[in-house]
Amino acid sequence: MVRATGGRSFRARVPAMALAAMAALALPSARGLAATAQGSIVGRVLNGTRGGVVEGVSVTLTMTRGSVAAGASPVSRTGRDGRFAFERLETGPDWTYGLAVSFQDADYHATPVRLASGQRKTVDVTVYEATRSPGSIRVTDWTVWLDRERGVAVQHDLVLKNSAKTTFVGADLVEKGKRAVLRLPLAAGARELQYLGRFMQCCAIVRQDTLVHTAALPPGSSSGTVRYSTPSLARLDLPVAFPTDRISVLVPPGVSLASSSLQPAGQAQDRGLSYTVYSASNLTPGQHLEATIGGLESREPPPLALALFGVAAAAGAAFVILRIRIARRSRPAARARAPVEPPAPRPAPASAAAPAPTAATQRVSSDGPPPDSSPPEEAELLIEEVAALDLAFERGVLREDTYRRIRELRKGKLLEVLRGQDAGRGDPPRQ
């Protein structure tokens, strides 16, 4: 039985991705003796914009045992001193706890923790006041990959930086309670969208040829990836919404790009292919980069061929069904074929021989938040990446080898970050 003090409980409006993130962080650890004494988590909600504490906000506790969500999520409401408390919590290496706070149209999460037997742990959550002005947002790197995969694959890797001490929640209302924080162009016929990092399926709205993303941008650096397929690609349009340090487009062998805005910038190696890099730098809002693409035309058969193929397929299917009915009388049914897996989002390139695009080589920028702001949110971004990876793998959109390789890298980095935070608080090192 978990008891939340400081106010009455009610069901919090916490995104499903937050619950998945907590489950993804049931990191393996050495098992010791079974813990019996219960523990507690206490802390404050801090205002990272003005300083001080935040009164009257709800803090939701998420609980996982192993990799499964455990029970309802209790809620504690902060008092005048900004404090909250969760008592009588289960302890031991199997239990992981996270804290979530919704404040001024943005969601914030504390780094998940475990409790030793009888431990009382202090965990503060820093939130920021919201702004609808994008004046502090900058794109430090925007990389676009083009590939031949089931037609054409297009991948956008972005690194954004919020240099203010406020969270940008978007200006234009696109749906009830959701504002557009970022817009990305989509090619005609875009399908099979996949998300990693700051870009999440929960916060993505597709409007014709545009992906509208509604997840708020807190202070510091954020990175994200979106990848999709399209039958063909003859033109690339890249509207610039924020000041942008660099845009790079990478095209595979046999594909041409013509543009008055994007200039050749050498070669980049990835997956055994040599991509030609085109780039533009120091871009301002309102600019519009256009490029004509050759070599990525549709390879789909014409309508007549499809119709003839359909007739042949129908006849063949009827014949196969008849044979199966006969065969079933003499032998057991065969096992169903596993579904074909869609292409996985591209992991970081192994090397680059020319001015390599940074968005493709790192998921989270090391720039961090402004010097006078709260500690970096690198751990939270890593948590979201691990959760997104797990969800993509469970839905069959990531190959197992790619999933396990990227997840081990992200978990290793997360453990490194958590150990650094533990050392700063004087906690025992994590295993």
- Average pLDDT of the segment spanning 317-341: 36
Least-confidence region, from 70-84, 119-133, 199-213, 362-376 = 362-376
pLDDT at position 20 is 45
Three-class secondary structure of residue 86 per DSSP: strand
Least-confidence region, from 54-58, 240-244, 278-282, 323-327 = 323-327
Least-confidence region, from 64-73, 220-229, 238-247, 331-340 = 331-340
- For the question of whether the overall pTM of this predicted structure is more than 0.75, the answer is no
pLDDT (tens digit per residue) in 240-275: 999 999 999 999 999 999 999 999 999 999 888 899
pLDDT at position 321 is 35
pLDDT (tens digit per residue) in 39-97: 999 999 999 999 999 999 999 999 998 878 777 688 999 999 999 999 999 999 889 99
Confidence of residue 431 (pLDDT cuts 50, 70, 90): low
pLDDT at residue 198 is higher than 90: no
Three-class secondary structure of residue 355 per DSSP: coil
Confidence of residue 398 (pLDDT cuts 50, 70, 90): low
pLDDT at residue 315 is higher than 50: no
In CATH, what number does 137-298+344-367 get?
A: 2.60.40
How do 75-77 and 58-65 pair as beta strands?
Answer: antiparallel
Q: What percentage of the chain exceeds 90 in pLDDT?
A: 46
The H-assigned helical ranges of 158-202 are none
pLDDT at residue 361 is higher than 80: no
Name which residue leads in pLDDT, 400 or 172. Answer: 172
pLDDT at position 412 is 74
Name which residue leads in pLDDT, 395 or 216. Answer: 216
pLDDT at residue 105 is higher than 70: yes
Three-class secondary structure of residue 413 per DSSP: helix
Q: What number of residues does the chain have?
A: 431
Which stretch of DSSP H or E encloses residue 102?
strand 95-103
- CA–CA gap between residue 29 and residue 94 (Å, rounded): 9
pLDDT (tens digit per residue) in 298-310: 655 444 444 444 4
Give the closest residue to 187 by CA, choosing from 211, 159, 223.
Answer: 211
User: Which structure tokens are listed for 210?
Assistant: 């545009």
Say how far residue 322 (Cα) sits from the centre of its chain: 47
Three-class secondary structure of residue 405 per DSSP: helix
Domain ranges of the chain: 3-130, 137-298+344-367
Do the domains 137-298+344-367 and 3-130 match in fold? yes
Amino acid occupying residue 418: L
Alpha carbon distances (Å) from 178 to 172, 216, 219, 271: 9, 10, 19, 38
Contact 178, 149 (CB under 8 A): no
pLDDT at residue 181 is higher than 90: yes
Architecture of 3-130 per CATH? Sandwich (2.60)
For 203, which DSSP code? G
pLDDT at position 423 is 67
Contact 142, 242 (CB under 8 A): no
Three-class secondary structure of residue 179 per DSSP: strand
